[in-house]
Structure 1
Amino acid sequence: APLSLIQGPPGTGKTTTTCHLVRRLVEKHCQDSRGCNILVAADSNVAVDQLLAGLIRLGVKALRIGFPSKVSQELRAQTLQAQAEEHPLNSKIEETREALSKVKDALYSGSLKGKGKGLAHRDISLHVRDIQKYEQEVTDDLIANAEVICATLVGCGCDALLRSNFHTVVIDEASQATEPRCLIALQKAQAQLVMVGDQQQLPPVVLCPAAEEKGLRCSLFDRLLNSPTLFNQEINMLQVQYRMHPLIREWPSSQFYDGRLQDGLPMSTFSSCVMTKPFLSKSQRKAPILLLDTSDDGSEA
């Protein structure tokens, strides 16, 4: 389908599911001889790094777009900058930079006069043009040979991806991103958009009251779900959770997910969570969950 929404309640493995979905898309695209033309994005660098790490574990050849300082240290070898330094054309770039530096030194030292100064300015322009050309060739080559490109939503609009569009764009944690940020990635999609999120969890963070009042806090994910003209299909919901004790799972399942959440782990898995003492000295309740009313002043809490 051109548009797919996947809802992942807490503990259902949204990121893991996304990584396996992307790997399957890679296999399908390569079989169809379309090239592995996939962009995977999320709102934060941490979320993108989690996706990148998961894809690497699955054997996917992924390239990370973004500043290396914003990327987890163990994943920096997968960044565009790190890969560019190992590219065969990098030696030409370094040679041209060295030649550029020598011309600038000669020009600014005052040793060149008349026609020599004019030639130096011409050489500087030529060297700068060559460096830009080589860098673009390296970037285009690395992007073309990667199976998946990973970037933040804002990073999808960077210069490196300016000339790139993708058959499929996958956005993780889409319900926590503002609509304008999602649109940066969305405009890169040529044929298919997959959004993964959960409208029942935290919405986008909007610090400006005026922007919130105008609707910025409503994510594109949520807007699509509430617009039958834009999205008239049934959302795909992950229903098996592997994080919570079954007794903890019951309440969010009934309150937010129509009782559809199921447990992926048996009760015996949580044997170490058996309560031997109450949560609070004044309470005699021994259970994995306790709802504490702090509506008065919360001083005891």
Structure 2
Amino acid sequence: MAVGLVSRLFVTGLLAALACPCCVDGLARARGRAGRGRSAAKPSGDRAARVWETQAWRSAVYDALREYDSRWQSLLLSEWRSEQDLLREQLREWPERRLEREGWLLKDLEDRAPASQAAEGAIEGVVSQRTATALHIVVRQLPALLEPAAGRRQAATAHPFCLARGASAAATKADAGELLQRLNPSQLSVVRAALARRCTLVQGPAGSGKTRTACFLLAAAVRMRQQRDGGAGGVLAAAASNVAADELLEGLLAAGVCAVRVGQPASVRESLRSATLDAALERSAPVAAARDRLRAAQRSRQAGGGSGGGVSEAFQAVRRAEAAASLRLLKAAEATEPTSLVPLLFGAQQLVLVGDSQQLPPTVTDIAASREGLGTSLFERLQESGVQPLLLDTQYRMHPSLAEFSSRRFYGGLLRSAVRPEERPPPAGLRWPDAGFPVAFVAVRGPEQRSAAEPGGADAPRSPEDEGGTSYSNAAEAEVVARLVRALLDAGDPRPCDLGVITPYNAQALLLQRSLCEEEVEVKSVDGFQGREKELIVFSAVRSNAKRQLGFVADHRRLNVALTRARRGLVIVGDEATLAADPTWRELLSFYRRRRCVVGSADELLPRCE
């Protein structure tokens, strides 16, 4: 069967499985009708019956896809409008210096047109690429007033991803079997299973080597294709953030895979920019030749010896050459379900999703769209539909004591630690209640304050309680956190760069940043710290009220992320009475009390004065 047909059937089946129940029932009824039509056909084959069977099945599939499309279209539009409102608020409220720092404001730009031609009128086009110093604009037809160098059309893309095209010359000697010997047993079993399945979910808890496993899986897939098909066909790796895409690219290059990174060059780590699509296009002979012809046509027209049609034809030739050089590259998508399906539409025959449903879901700005399901990832939806994930069961990040509760509560006790306690000694700046269990919960009873959140902070959490632009802070907790951080830094262990302060709310993060403005420590929201790690983490839980309301602090996924960022030590500052209103928090506090690491004040942790 043709590859394209196989891909279409695979994607159609996946979409049908994700459609609403009524659509799935419709597909089943159509298949039943088609089966009855087939049984009524003549032994020699009734072409009309076969045509009817095909049309009935196709009609049911189209009905399911239309239903799926109508479900998400309104939600995506609502999310887009919410993002636009947030952007307008940021542009209105943020000072000019911050807009420049965030890369949203470019000042003192000059066009490349000669002064004598600048009066021909405004140029209308689409911004295809933005760097720190320039805007690249695509126009329908190249204006005569532009200099030749400005006519280059840059590759435009909104989604970062990597594409593995084949093994590099230095690595072709190693086959897939030799490559997989570098993995631990659970990683090896996951890679082998994923290579043999059509659809695979890989659940990777914090520190279990998700990126490493994904890179070795991609490298093995590329080498298997090379050995089997002579390198035909590409392997696409899509990521939801630039940081994750860079990590994938770095891992693939280290594994000897020739990978191409697509995305805005300014957002790619500088050491990896030679492996970007833009760099590959610059090295492409057909693209270079087409651009040379374009520049020649422009010079001829400016000299009066050429026509506008010649320039337009040359410009189209550049576009065709760039497209031809990019045919093997597929656009990736973000982590929400509708956009996650985009890579599957370009020849997908196998699908592997690597993630963790026990950590935070995709960030959705519009609260209503999130409630309706836009905040549910494709990973979660497939898991809910009955696809069982394969677990990476060994973590390499944390002191075993730090991973103990998460393993028991979120992963059924299956998560093991490859790290020995002596490899993660507790930081020396505090008097830990148990030196063999580097965790401390500091009980603080200080009232929370509800305040207006800074417009569109990069790490601002989005939840139903944040509607109207409000957030929460807790001055008493901020004071305790500042005392603990200063004591740790004064002791010299950990270093400022190895200490992180996290909190669920953006308002508390801003308060902590002001309190620790003289200390060079990183302060972020829990959402903004997912995927990161530090030697020691201080976590401020914020919520403290008579009604014992926790809001989204009760989300077990956010708690799991907060508990699994530290390598050597974790300090939690919070109101025990309020937090215990949630079953997961209550279980955590009970676990800590059994280990005798709950203290009544920060003084019990601070070093004694001699």
TM-score (norm 1): 0.77
Of residues 221, 236, 242, the one that matches 1:45 is 242
- Could you tell me how far 1:27 is from its partner in structure 2? 1.3
Amino acid at match of 1:37: G
| CA deviation after TM superposition for structure 1 residue 72, in Å | 0.9
1:67 matched residue in structure 2 = 264
Matched, 1:288 2:485: no
1:127 aligns with 2:314: yes
1:159 is aligned to none
The answer on 1:5 being equivalent to 2:201 is yes
Cα distance in 1, alignment partners of residues 429 and 295 from structure 2: 71
After superposition, the C-alpha distances for 1:78-118 in whole angstroms (9 at most, x for unaligned) are 11111111122244123212212214424xxxxx5xxx7xx
Counterpart selection for 1:222 from 369, 380, 392: 380
Check conservation: 1:23, 1:55, Cα contact below 8 A.
yes
- After TM superposition, give the deviation of residue 37 of structure 1 in Å: 1.7
- Structure 1: which amino acid aligns with 2:254? R
For residues 187-202 of structure 1, the aligned pairs below 5 Å read 187-202=345-360
Return the match for 1:81 from 278, 287, 295: 278
The answer on whether the counterparts of 1:66 and 1:151 sit within 8 Å (CA) in structure 2 is no
Among 228, 252, 275, the alignment partner of 1:32 is: 228
Unpaired runs of 5+ residues, structure 1, are: 107-111, 144-148, 155-176
- State the distance in 2 between where 1:124 and 1:10 align: 54
Deviation for aligned residue 1:151: 6.2
Q: CA deviation at 1:57?
A: 0.3
Q: Which protein is bigger by CA-based radius of gyration?
A: 2
- Structure 2 matches for 1:96-107, cutoff 5 A? 96-106=293-303
Kindly indicate whether the alpha-carbon contact (under 8 Å) linking 2:293 and 2:314 is maintained by their aligned counterparts in 1: yes
1:143-162 equivalence runs, <5 A: 143=328, 152-153=332-333
Give the match for residue 158 of structure 1: none
Instruction: Map 1:260-299 onto structure 2 (within 5 A).
Output: 260-270=414-424, 272-273=425-426, 277-278=430-431, 284=433, 286=435, 287-294=437-444, 296-297=446-447, 298=474, 299=476
In 2, Cα distance between the equivalents of 1:125 and 1:274?
66
User: Secondary structure at 2:373's aligned position in 1?
Assistant: coil
In structure 2, what is the Cα distance between the partners aligned to 1:127 and 1:259? 63
- Structure with larger RCO (C-alpha < 8 A, sep 6+): 1
1:171 counterpart residue number: none
The residue matched to 2:440 in structure 1 has which SS? coil
By how many angstroms is 1:150 displaced?
A: 8.3
- Flag the 1:249–1:150 CA change in 2: closer, same or farther, 3 A: farther
The C-alpha deviation readout for 1:39-66, integer Å capped at 9, x for no partner, is 0111111111100000000000111122
Cα-to-partner distance string for 1:201-224 (whole Å, 9 max, x where unaligned) = 111111211111211111110111
RMSD: 2.3
Q: Determine the structure 2 residue equivalent to 1:240.
A: 394
**1:93 paired to 2:290:** yes
Between the aligned partners of 2:299 and 2:221, the Cα distance in structure 1 is: 49
Give the secondary structure class of the aligned counterpart of 2:307: helix
Q: Aligned pair in 2 of structure 1 residues 2, 245: CA closer, same or farther (>3 Å)? A: same
Return the alpha-carbon distance in structure 2 between the equivalents of residues 15 and 97 of structure 1. Answer: 42
Q: Is the 8 A contact 2:398 2:419 kept in 1?
A: no
TM-score scaled by length of structure 2: 0.39
Offset, 1:124: 2.2
For residues 211-267 of structure 1, the C-alpha deviation after alignment (integer angstroms, 9 at most, x for no partner) is 112111111101111113xx3xx3210000000111111111111011111011222
**Secondary structure in structure 2 of the residue aligned to 1:214:** helix
Change (3 A) 1:150 1:10: farther
Structure 2: tracts of 5 or more residues without a match: 1-196, 448-473, 481-610
Contact 1:275 1:288 in 2 (8 A): no
Aligned partners of 1:241 and 1:261 also within 8 Å: yes
Indicate how the Cα distance of structure 1 residues 132 and 274 shifts in structure 2: closer, same or farther if over 3 A, else same: closer
> How far did residue 134 of structure 1 move?
2.5
Does the aligned pair in 2 maintain the 1:204–1:217 contact within 8 Å? Answer: yes
* Cα deviations by residue, 1:175-197 (Å, 9 ceiling, x for unpaired): xx211221122323431000000
C-alpha distance in structure 1 between counterparts of 2:283 and 2:445, whole Å: 60
From 210, 232, 241, the equivalent of 1:14 is 210
User: Cα distance 1:36–1:269, how it changes in 2: closer, same or farther (>3 A)?
Assistant: farther
Q: Secondary structure at the match of 2:360?
A: coil
1:242 is aligned with what amino acid? Y
CA contact (8 A) 1:40 1:151 kept: no
Structure 1's 274 and 150: CA in aligned 2 closer, same or farther, altered over 3 A?
farther
* Distance of 2:270 and 2:396 partners within structure 1: 28
